């Protein structure tokens, strides 16, 4: 990760502190519940050791256990996305399971596994055996669909089935490009950024907010103050949860990340060229060049450069001068 990425990550990390503060209220309720349960579990142990507890002792026990267990639990829950993001950035294993669920990926069949490892072995040989460490930590997954594409997240390499089927000639250049992202740490950074946002948090918050809104309407219609009060507090908690799911820092620093990831695409193309896959990658990109279109504010929003620009840069690397 270069200095530009470090600066962007530091900004994102700091801005994601606001959603973490919003998580403190619902996390506090969970922490209070956990602390209370732990206090009830400790009471029999204390009574066996020293006899029945007085009211003052019980009060002190509940207060102490709740503070020592509940508050750390709340803090951990509120700051968990930050912790998981840092762990991903350090390259610790994990993150594949949820990515597989979200993307609908699956483990490769023996045939698919053999095809991918054969090509990866050839690319490793082309690098002079320098990919051994990267490949040793990589897990392979297959995505169903009609596109010829691949992507990396964390230590996972996700390849679409058509790329392994009729058009295997594109497999080596596409994998070479993705290995560039794996070898440079781009894949770890992608996972670290995604961990700032609680998966499926928006859907849960929206559903809970609808329930809370129903409680408010029911309380208003019946003119029951308790219903209105409960509906209001439930609505507040779930709105905080919706904000607290994270992603604020990612959205605010989005333009900076968009420019950074476009440069990383060029770097991965150069990596594929270094493995002898520049010509093949040009052919693959030409197949998808129809996707290029003039888009307003493109440099501010897109993490993918124009395909034509990628092709032209690769042609220069291959020596195709006009």
- Determine the Cα–Cα distance for residues 183 and 241; give it in Å rounded to an integer: 36
Residue 142: phi, psi to the nearest 5? -120, 140
CA dihedral in degrees (258, 263, 269, 272; nearest 10)? Answer: -110
Mean per-residue pLDDT for 183-197?
A: 90
Q: Which residue has the higher pLDDT, 77 or 238?
A: 77
Residue 206, classified by CB atoms within 10 Å of its CB into exposed (0-12), middle (13-18) or buried (19+), is exposed
Q: Which residue has the higher pLDDT, 182 or 55?
A: 182
For residue 253, give the nearest of 196, 183, 172 by alpha carbon: 196
The end-to-end CA distance of the chain, in Å, is 35
Beta strands in the chain (DSSP E): 139-143, 150-153, 156-160
Question: Has residue 210 got a pLDDT over 70?
Answer: no
Put simply, whether the predicted model's pTM sits higher than 0.75 gets the answer yes
Would you say 280 and 170 are in contact if contact means Cβ atoms under 8 Å apart?
yes
- Determine the Cα–Cα distance for residues 2 and 265; give it in Å rounded to an integer: 15
pLDDT of residue 221: 47
**3-state SS, residue 153:** strand
Q: In what order do the strands lie in the sheet with 139-143?
A: 139-143, 156-160, 150-153
Question: Has residue 201 got a pLDDT over 90?
Answer: no
Residue 293, classified by CB atoms within 10 Å of its CB into exposed (0-12), middle (13-18) or buried (19+), is exposed
- Alpha carbon 255 to chain centroid distance? 18
Question: Has residue 251 got a pLDDT over 90?
Answer: no
For residue 265, give the nearest of 276, 255, 253, 257 by alpha carbon: 257
**Per-residue confidence band for 209, with pLDDT thresholds at 50, 70 and 90:** low
- Alpha carbon 151 to chain centroid distance? 13
pLDDT tens, residue by residue, 109-137 = 999 999 999 999 999 998 888 888 888 88
Element (H, E) at 277: none
- What angle in degrees, to the nearest 10, is found between the helix axes of 307-317 and 254-274? 40
Instruction: Give me the half-sphere count of Cα atoms (radius 13 Å) on the Cβ side of residue 19.
Output: 28
Place of tokens 């193309």: 269
% of the chain exceeding 90 in pLDDT: 27
Question: Has residue 71 got a pLDDT over 60?
Answer: yes
Q: Which residue has the higher pLDDT, 313 or 201?
A: 313
Residue 241, classified by CB atoms within 10 Å of its CB into exposed (0-12), middle (13-18) or buried (19+), is buried
Question: Has residue 13 got a pLDDT over 90?
Answer: yes
- Determine the Cα–Cα distance for residues 205 and 138; give it in Å rounded to an integer: 34
* Lowest mean pLDDT, pick from 101-110, 126-135, 181-190, 197-206: 197-206
Sign of CA dihedral 121, 125, 129, 134: negative
């Amino acid at each position: 990760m270069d200095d530009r990425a470090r600066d962007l990550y530091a900004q994102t990390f700091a801005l994601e502190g606001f959603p973490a503060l919003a998580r403190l209220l619902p996390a506090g309720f969970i922490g209070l519940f956990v602390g209370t349960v732990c206090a009830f579990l400790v009471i029999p142990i204390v009574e066996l050791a020293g006899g029945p507890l007085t009211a003052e002792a019980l009060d002190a026990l509940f207060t102490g256990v709740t503070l020592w267990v509940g508050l750390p639990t709340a803090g951990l829950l509120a700051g968990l996305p930050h912790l998981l993001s840092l762990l991903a950035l350090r390259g610790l294993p994990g993150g594949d399971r949820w990515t597989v669920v979200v993307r609908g990926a699956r483990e490769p069949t023996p045939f698919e596994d053999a095809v991918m490892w054969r090509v990866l072995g050839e690319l490793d040989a082309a690098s002079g055996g320098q990919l051994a460490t990267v490949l040793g930590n990589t897990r392979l997954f297959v995505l169903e669909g009609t596109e010829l594409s691949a992507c990396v997240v964390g230590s996972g390499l996700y390849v679409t089935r058509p790329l392994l089927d009729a058009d295997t000639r594109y497999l080596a250049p596409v994998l070479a490009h993705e290995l560039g992202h794996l070898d440079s740490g781009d894949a770890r950074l992608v996972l670290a950024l995604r961990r700032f946002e609680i998966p499926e948090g928006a859907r849960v918050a929206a559903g809970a907010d609808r329930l809370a809104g129903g409680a408010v309407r029911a309380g208003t219609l019946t003119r029951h103050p308790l219903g209105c009060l409960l509906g209001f507090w439930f609505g507040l908690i779930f709105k905080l949860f919706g904000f607290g799911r994270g992603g604020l820092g990612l959205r605010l620093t989005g333009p900076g990340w968009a420019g950074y990831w476009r440069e990383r695409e060029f770097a991965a193309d150069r990596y594929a060229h270094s493995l002898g896959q520049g010509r093949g990658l040009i052919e693959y990109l030409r197949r998808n060049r129809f996707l290029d279109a003039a888009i307003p504010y493109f440099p501010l929003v897109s993490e993918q450069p124009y395909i034509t620009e990628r092709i032209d840069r690769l042609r220069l690397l291959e020596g195709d001068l006009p």
